[in-house]
Structure 1
Amino acid sequence: MSDQTIIRFEHVTKRYDQDAPVLDNVSFEIERGKFYTLLGPSGCGKTTILRLIAGFIEPSQGNIYFNGRIINNVPANKRQVNTVFQDYALFPHLNVFENVAFGLRVKKVSKSEIQKKVTEALRFVNLAGYENREITEMSGGQRQRVAIARAIVNEPEIILLDEPLSALDLKLRTEMQYELRELQRRLGITFIFVTHDQEEALAMSDEIFVLNQGRIQQSGTPIDIYDEPINRFVADFIGESNIVPARMKADYVVEFAGRTFECVDKGLQPNEAVEIVIRPEDLEITASGKGKMQVRVDSQLFRGVHYEIKGIDDAGNAWLVHSTKRADVGAQIGLDFDPEAIHVMRFGETEEEFDKRLESYEGSETGGGGHGH
């Protein structure tokens, strides 16, 4: 555990009654001053992790450490943690100032100190001058900023955010992503953000934990997660992917779609059955008969910044292509891609095994330092 670790989960399981565990033997560390995102589908365990950190529930097994001290039984009001809920949980009968001041009044902080802290918190979230505004008169984005001001006014070491952008429209949601990220940088404290929105996680995070069925599938930077998915679930859940059955022929050589291709992976067994991932934006359309493979165009949609083209290769594999070039339905086209665009996934590989395999070819002459797209 490093000196920067603020939260550590050690083999934590959470179950209700005799049901299957909502969280299953999970271990991870959170460092101070970073923006973390817990990402996954509904029911994967991400909100359970948030509630365990907040102290709303206790683990069934394992230990949770805060600054090196076990906090399993420490009540929520004794933790240096504040939560921003999905519905913001503001008091409609109190104005902006009183909503932000509420926790301080409960703690019996002096009137002058409350005035100072609330003013500073509202300035931080760009709501200076809104002190007397009624909550019912505020927009969705403004209400969210009030909720964040109420969280930071208590000077917590961690702010937990439980899908706080989900109720906003797309334009406001995008604006608030920038605002939240900038706010975290200015405050310099740890944010732990829960979402099921992959683009949101990729845009905002220093580090992402991808969860499914109560377990962490993979953790890493957004680039790590996107470029080096550990398994089919992560590859499919994070962005759009072409996932095709393949066979590793030798180091740096993989076979799929009836042909062999150069890649940048090694450390697998000869003739081992694997899956490969190629992102749609890494496929380039060429003329028929050219490129590394041929596909027949099944459909084409215009998405504004690119065409979304679906095609089928001779082996029956479906391919999704994002390109600025259009292709007519029924046409035969070629697809080209670099060896670095091919990411090989081993069936049933753990994150630790994957990391070791990645290290074995990172920095090598052929690997060129990994899958930098």
Structure 2
Amino acid sequence: MGEQTIIRFERVTKQYDNDPPVLANVSFEIERGKFYTLLGPSGCGKTTILRMIAGFAEPTEGSIYLNDKLINRVPANERQVNTVFQDYALFPHLNVFENVAFGLRIKKMNKKDIQEKVTQALSFVNLEGYGEREISEMSGGQRQRVAIARAIVNEPEVLLLDEPLSALDLKLRTEMQYILREMQQRLGITFIFVTHDQEEALAMSDEIFVMNKGKIEQSGTPNDIYDEPINRFVADFIGESNIVPGRMIADYQVEFNGRQFECVDGGLRPNEPIEIVIRPEDLEITSVAEGKLRVKVDTQLFRGVHYEISCYDDSGQEWLVHSTKKAELGSEIGLHFDPEAIHVMRFGETEEEFDRRLEAYEEVEQHVR
């Protein structure tokens, strides 16, 4: 375990009775002072991971470490971890100050220190002067910030956030994303955030764990996850994608739609079946003569900053395009894309296999150079 590692899961499985495992042999490390997001659909195991870190659930198999100490059976109140829940779990009979001070009073801290720490915590969440307000008088966004203040006032090493923005409207949700990210950077606390919203994860995180069916499909920075999805699930879940079957002719050369195209990927076997990913924003509308693909416009929606255009080629393959240009319904257009826009995925490849292939390919590249 590295010096910067604060949490480590080693082959952790969680299973209830004879049901399929909620988590299946999961291993990962969390570094100190970063913003992590567990991203995935409902039932994928992300909240289970949060509950096991917090001490609300124990693994069926495997080990969990906090600061290099095994914590499988350490009670929740003895861990330097606090949780912000989806419903905030505030006390309606206490005002804002007393909600934030609750944990400090349980610890029997003196009155002066409580006043100082609560005031500081409310300042961190931009709620100075709100101490005497009743919870019923607070908006949804303000209640969420009270819940965060109550969590950080205890100075945890890790702050766990279980879909805390899901009940907010879009504008307030976006505002809270900025506040949470800025707060994490100011405090330097490790944040572990659970969401099923991929835009939220991309906007806020230092690192994302994409989860599916009790396993981590891929982990990496938002750019890594978006630009280099490891398989169809990740490509589909993170943003919108055009995914088509193809063949790796050779390094830097792929075939799909009956034509060969240059790309920037390699390291696979010649003529190996692959899947091609091209993001909608990487497709440029041009004339039929100048396009690499010839398609017919089927539908078009205005999304504010771009048009979302659905097209079909002669084989019946749908192509989704995000463009600032408007297209005429029923017209034939060309689609242009650069070699860098083509991402190659091997069928059913795991993250470990992807990492090994990429490492081997980079070694070959260095030798050639």
User: TM range, normalised to the smaller chain?
Assistant: over 0.9
2:284 is aligned with what amino acid? E
**CA positional deviation for 1:361:** 4.8
Deviates more, 1:296-305 or 1:190-199: 296-305
SS in 1 for 2:311: strand
CA contact (8 A) 1:266 1:361 kept: yes
SS in 1 for 2:300: strand
* Distance in 1 (alpha carbons) for counterparts of 2:58 and 2:190: 21
Deviations 1:127-175 (A, max 9, x none): 1111100000001111111000000110100000000000000000000
* Distance in 2 (alpha carbons) for counterparts of 1:124 and 1:41: 31
Aligned to 1:204: 204
* Distance in 2 (alpha carbons) for counterparts of 1:322 and 1:211: 27
**CA positional deviation for 1:315:** 2.5
* Distance in 2 (alpha carbons) for counterparts of 1:126 and 1:269: 56
**CA positional deviation for 1:251:** 0.9
What residue ranges of structure 1 are gaps of 5+ in the alignment?
A: 367-373
Coordinate RMSD, CA, aligned = 1.3
Aligned to 1:114: 114
Sequence identity, in percent?
80
Aligned to 2:326: 326
Aligned to 2:194: 194
* Distance in 1 (alpha carbons) for counterparts of 2:264 and 2:362: 9
**CA positional deviation for 1:360:** 4.5
Q: Within 5 Å, which residues of 2 pair with 1:260-279?
A: 260-279=260-279
Q: Within 5 Å, which residues of 2 pair with 1:179-258?
A: 179-258=179-258
1:357 is aligned with what amino acid? R
Aligned to 1:370: none
**CA positional deviation for 1:270:** 1.2
Aligned to 1:105: 105
* Distance in 1 (alpha carbons) for counterparts of 2:364 and 2:282: 22
Q: Within 5 Å, which residues of 2 pair with 1:42-81?
A: 42-81=42-81
**CA positional deviation for 1:291:** 1.5
Deviations 1:96-121 (A, max 9, x none): 01000001111111111111111111
**CA positional deviation for 1:364:** 8.5
CA contact (8 A) 1:264 1:361 kept: no
Aligned to 2:139: 139
In the alignment of these two chains, the number of paired residues is: 366
**CA positional deviation for 1:260:** 0.5
CA contact (8 A) 1:258 1:315 kept: no
The TM-score with structure 2 as length reference comes to: 0.97
* Distance in 1 (alpha carbons) for counterparts of 2:353 and 2:51: 30
Deviations 1:150-208 (A, max 9, x none): 00110100000000000000000000000000000000010000000000000000000
Q: Within 5 Å, which residues of 2 pair with 1:296-315?
A: 296-315=296-315
1:84 is aligned with what amino acid? V
* Distance in 1 (alpha carbons) for counterparts of 2:364 and 2:86: 46
Aligned to 1:371: none
The TM-score with structure 1 as length reference comes to: 0.96
* Distance in 2 (alpha carbons) for counterparts of 1:332 and 1:365: 40
* Distance in 1 (alpha carbons) for counterparts of 2:308 and 2:101: 50
* Distance in 2 (alpha carbons) for counterparts of 1:194 and 1:252: 37
Deviations 1:28-55 (A, max 9, x none): 0000100000000000000000000000
* Distance in 2 (alpha carbons) for counterparts of 1:221 and 1:359: 17
* Distance in 1 (alpha carbons) for counterparts of 2:11 and 2:270: 35
**CA positional deviation for 1:359:** 3.5
**CA positional deviation for 1:311:** 0.8
